[in-house]
Amino acid sequence: MESFLLKPLPETISELEAQMDLISSEQKRCFEAIRRLMDAEDVEKGIVFPQEIHELHQRKNMLETHMQYRRVRINRLKMWKGIK
């Protein structure tokens, strides 16, 4: 897990936006891995990846939660500073 996700949220918009870019990249990697696993599945041959797909979905959802926290923080910082 990215170390910055374990630390308190930054106090600057630029840091938050940089973290959001990293989170977005990781979300894309999760989505692509899910697609690859789903495409590789062959139920008739017993080739399935339910645990891996589930874990990737959970990671993607966790990352979305972190993304939302950063969006909220950015909006609050903008309100406090009067930026529109």
Q: 34-70: per-residue pLDDT in tens?
A: 999 999 999 999 999 999 999 999 999 999 999 999 9
* Contact (Cβ atoms closer than 8 angstroms) between residue 28 and residue 48: no
For 6-34, what is each residue's pLDDT tens digit? 888 999 999 999 999 999 999 999 999 99
- 60 vs 68: CA distance, rounded Å: 12
Q: Compute φ and ψ for 6, nearest 5 degrees.
A: -90, -10
What global pTM score does this model have? 0.85
Q: Residue 39: what pLDDT? A: 97
69 token code pair: 């926290």
Helix axes 13-40, 50-81, angle to 10 degrees: 160
Who wins on pLDDT, 81 or 57? 57
